[in-house]
Chain A
């Protein structure tokens, strides 16, 4: 069912790694805001 995704020249393994790293950093920032605002209120 999943459409076969050929490698595209634009998305090299390096770019994919950069994407993953940036996504994790941003997610951590979001989590920090979440936790921060609750802790601020305790």
Chain B
């Protein structure tokens, strides 16, 4: 509260013009840039998904060549993973972590700026490949050799884009760890941190351990193609399956990198709107840490069909199944938080409850896939596509959206339009289930993934999915409109915004001054997390 009358505030003028954004070292501005970037990329990746669903609406090839279709699936995934979910997570971290721990900014503000500006550069590299001979990469976002080595002129651009994206993420992770470890306000002990900060600490360690592994893997692809090495070529004494091992050693922790920040948001939203503390704070921290730890031991469940020795298959099956335990703990703890609370269902809470239910559905199909002998039937079919889209879209994306609705009033000082928010929620939820649930049936019925056309027996569910897809895509325009409307104006938001909100960030004005906590606040048990 002393912040509002601090005499440091008289220099709360912001820099102006393009320089403010190009050279920003302010965590709020950088957070905003990450979020706007992510939202833009959501529509770009989403447009690619619309092309895919349009082609798959009916059997027969109506709109695009198989080559272009494969580029759509490949770049759609790269954009969504590296251009939407990860930047949005970092954007929310940038905005909220300093305020949540009582720090004035991130530990390394100039490096923070660079971490962001690498992203538009890297995606320009990647998206420009659409205009090159041979077109954009079309070997799947998983980049398996030998197929990926058949990529044309786009190949080096693809590799360098991935290198840059990795550097951006690693630098961001370093910044987050340094900030949380070194710049907490006095009294803000680790076990008083909001769960969102905890999940981001753990995510940051995962990033530092695994992004370099991806960089190593794609470097080896580069040298195989241009410098005569044969890391992944059997003829040269190498092994194409080794790429898969290295890639998925990154790839599995990567999915937890994607989901943990969203889990952190849910752990902020549900207690707030239940007006009740988070159930089992310590277990939530330990469960998150266990999930992250276990995630290093399960990578080969993405490769059950390559022909591993039996012992390998059994080990990875048991390890994969074990992750269900800490994940279940989190679901049960969120449920127990709601239980005997006094809930209200504003938009953030609607999305958060949606996450708990629909992420669980994705988790169930994930458990089914972890059973190796049955995975031999599911692998590389639409059953897998259904699984990961359930955990990523109504799981992670809805979690990020919940965070945006939750914090928009704090960032802008205006309440967003609640009616529009609810409409966005209901339209999105109904259409996302129309879009992805039938894919379970398609996979079980025998439809492989990454195909531009299919036998007529798969027609009906594909039609349902495509219609769901179009409605879901259009519904996100409501979100865009609502954000713009909220930035421009709306009912004034007070400091706390939500009746059940607790934490340092809710002691600041809405919107907060350009520089906050230049003098660290004193933190007691009472002012700590919800």
**Which A residues are within 8 Å of any B CB, using their own CB?**
1-6, 8-11, 15, 18-20, 22-23, 26-27, 29-38, 41-42
23 pairs from A and B in contact (CB 8 Å cutoff): A2-B15, A2-B23, A3-B26, A8-B515, A8-B519, A10-B103, A10-B183, A10-B185, A10-B518, A11-B105, A15-B183, A19-B108, A23-B107, A23-B111, A23-B174, A26-B173, A30-B170, A30-B208, A33-B212, A33-B213, A35-B216, A38-B220, A41-B231
Q: Select one of B108, B111, B215, B517 contacting A10, CB under 8 A.
A: B517
Name the 7 nearest CB pairs between A and B, nearest first: A34-B212, A1-B19, A37-B216, A33-B212, A19-B107, A3-B15, A8-B518
Task: Tell me, in angstroms, the Cα distance from A41 to B175 when the chains sit together.
Answer: 30
> Are B518's CB and A9's CB within 8 A?
yes
> Chain A residues near B11 (CB, 8 Å)?
4, 6
**How many of chain B's residues touch chain A, expressed as a range?**
35 or more
Task: Tell me, in angstroms, the Cα distance from A26 to B211 when the chains sit together.
Answer: 13
- Residue B217 at the chain A interface, CB threshold 8 Å: yes
Q: Beta-carbon contacts of B383-412 to A below 8 Å, as 1s and 0s?
A: 000000000000000000000000000000
Task: Tell me, in angstroms, the Cα distance from A13 to B407 when the chains sit together.
Answer: 32
Task: Tell me, in angstroms, the Cα distance from A27 to B177 when the chains sit together.
Answer: 12
CB neighbors of A among B1-43 (8 A): 8, 11, 14-15, 17, 19-20, 23, 25-26
User: A-B pairs with CB below 8 Å: how many?
Assistant: 102
A11: min CB distance to chain B, Å? 6
Q: Provided the pairs A37-B217, A41-B242 are in contact, do residues A9 and B212 lie with their beta carbons within 8 angstroms?
A: no
- Residue B104 at the chain A interface, CB threshold 8 Å: yes
Nearest residue, chain B, Cβ from A41? B231
B182: min CB distance to chain A, Å? 5
> Are B212's CB and A10's CB within 8 A?
no
**Which B residues are within 8 Å of any A CB, using their own CB?**
8, 11, 14-15, 17, 19-20, 23, 25-26, 103-105, 107-108, 111, 170, 173-175, 177-179, 181-183, 185, 208-213, 215-217, 219-220, 231, 242, 246, 249, 515, 517-520
> Chain B residues near A37 (CB, 8 Å)?
212-213, 216-217, 246, 249
Task: Tell me, in angstroms, the Cα distance from A10 to B246 when the chains sit together.
Answer: 42
> Are B220's CB and A26's CB within 8 A?
no
> Chain B residues near A42 (CB, 8 Å)?
231
Task: Tell me, in angstroms, the Cα distance from A11 to B27 when the chains sit together.
Answer: 15
> Are A27's CB and B174's CB within 8 A?
yes
Task: Tell me, in angstroms, the Cα distance from A20 to B517 when the chains sit together.
Answer: 21
